[in-house]
DNA sequence: TTAATAGATGAGAACCATTCCAATGTAATG
DNA sequence: CATTACATTGGAATGGTTCTCATCTATTAA
């Protein structure tokens, strides 16, 4: 599933973050790095069930929470009731379909400036010491626009 | 608690959105419009307990979900496990403390342009038909910076 | 004003994603 | 290899939110 290159890369990521390397952490991180779906705990469990059949749900939750704490991964809600996770290797944000929950990664040249500008302004106004941000944009994905028979000129 | 002016205003808001006017909806919306805390269902229940002692939790959830559907209110998570609600009368975003969960509203001249720019770019790149966005900035609030003994030059 | 009805409310049960717990297992250190 | 601090497991517990359905009511039409 995950290539050797990914396995080496993720091993290094864990070491860089001083996280104890366990098979569970390694395989979960490799899955997140090599997949661009935005999986839930259940999806990860199903996907990795063959390789680590006895992996407990608690372990997946613990592992993901650890990754979130280390800013390797971000949490996303798309309205289906469970949390989705996304490896955050390169800066981007998310467009989320309000009809089907589909999540896509988005970025563009200059996004980084937008982000930094928002953080700088926020620090000035609020006095917060900023450590990060989340931006999300909501709308209907192309498939749902067709499915719902909606025109662009509404 | 809520002034007559707020009661008139909220009554009009409900009518404008073609929402059936009930005492529960009216008082909950008035509470949200006149308070700038970002309450949970529990906080709302406690605050309005004197005026409507028998108001069920389901009613508050139903009411808030209805308001969210009508884009009157937005949902916020600050990591304490429950959902916070915010009346969204004027465009703004939120700074959320990663230590204590404190949420503050933020806006600045030009924020609207930032927002529109992000939505336009997203539509172009993703093909989504955009209906809204959420921006959040994370960091330590001034109180927690002091509490944790953190200097600004870290 | 009254009657009809679509929709809202309320109390509690049910749901289910997530966390907690205690016992066991294991990666890292020297 | 021994030590130890940390991770994993599976199941129980938690708790915020939704669901159910009987009751009630705001709204509309007659």
> Which nucleotide is closest to the Cα of B61 by its C1'?
D17
Residue B62, pLDDT > 90, answer yes
The reply to whether B22 and B62 lie within a common domain is yes
Pairing of strands A73-77, A83-87: antiparallel
The reply to whether A40 and A54 lie within a common domain is yes
Contact present, A93 and B115 (Cβ < 8 Å): no
Closest of A102, A106, A84 to residue A143, by C-alpha: A102
Q: What is the pLDDT of residue A1?
A: 58
The three-class DSSP label of residue B20 is coil
How confident is residue B1, by pLDDT bands cut at 50, 70 and 90?
low
The reply to whether A23 and A66 lie within a common domain is yes
Residue A120, pLDDT > 60, answer yes
Count of structural domains, chain B: 2
For position B109, which CATH number holds? 3.30.1490.190
Q: What is the pLDDT of residue B3?
A: 82
Domain that holds residue B51: 1-88
The reply to whether A83 and A117 lie within a common domain is no
The reply to whether B42 and B31 lie within a common domain is yes
> What is the rounded distance in angstroms from the CA atom of residue B78 to the CA atom of residue A49?
32
CB within 8 Å: B135 and A139? no
The reply to whether A95 and A83 lie within a common domain is no
Residue B154, pLDDT > 50, answer no
How confident is residue B151, by pLDDT bands cut at 50, 70 and 90?
low
What average pLDDT does range B16-45 have in this prediction?
A: 97
Q: What is the pLDDT of residue A134?
A: 97
Q: Compare all CA atoms of chain B with the CA of A139 and give the residue at the minimum distance.
A: B130
CB within 8 Å: A126 and B134? no
The reply to whether A8 and A84 lie within a common domain is yes
Kindly state the percentage of chain A with pLDDT values over 70.
97
What average pLDDT does range A102-115 have in this prediction?
A: 97
Of A108, A118, A130, the CB nearest to B125: A108
- Of A89, A119, A146, which one is at a domain's C-terminal end? A89
The reply to whether A75 and A130 lie within a common domain is no
Of A122, A127, A137, the CB nearest to B133: A137
Both tokens of residue B103? 């949420």
Closest of B58, B91, B94 to residue B75, by C-alpha: B94
Both tokens of residue A56? 């407990």
Residues B122-144 pLDDT 10s: 999 999 999 999 999 999 999 99
The reply to whether B60 and B121 lie within a common domain is no
- Of A89, A109, A124, which one is at a domain's C-terminal end? A89
Query: Which residue approaches C21 most closely, CA to C1'?
Result: A58
- Mean pLDDT, chain B, rounded, equals 95
- Of A58, A89, A120, which one is at a domain's C-terminal end? A89
The reply to whether B94 and B115 lie within a common domain is yes
């Amino acid at each position: 599933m995950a290539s050797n290159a990914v396995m080496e890369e993720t091993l290094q990521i864990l070491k860089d973050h001083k996280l104890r390397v366990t098979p569970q952490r390694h395989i979960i991180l490799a899955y997140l790095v090599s997949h661009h779906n935005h999986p839930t705990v259940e999806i990860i469990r199903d996907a990795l069930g063959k390789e680590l059949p006895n992996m407990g749900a608690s372990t997946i939750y613990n592992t993901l929470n650890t990754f979130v704490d280390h800013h390797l991964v971000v949490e996303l809600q798309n309205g289906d009731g469970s949390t989705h996770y996304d490896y955050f290797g390169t800066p981007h944000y998310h467009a989320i379909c309000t009809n089907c929950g589909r999540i896509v990664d988005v970025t563009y040249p200059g996004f980084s400036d937008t982000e930094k500008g928002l953080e700088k302004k926020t620090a000035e106004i609020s006095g917060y010491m900023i450590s990060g941000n989340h931006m999300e944009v909501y709308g209907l994905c192309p498939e749902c626009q067709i499915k719902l028979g909606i025109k662009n000129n509404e």
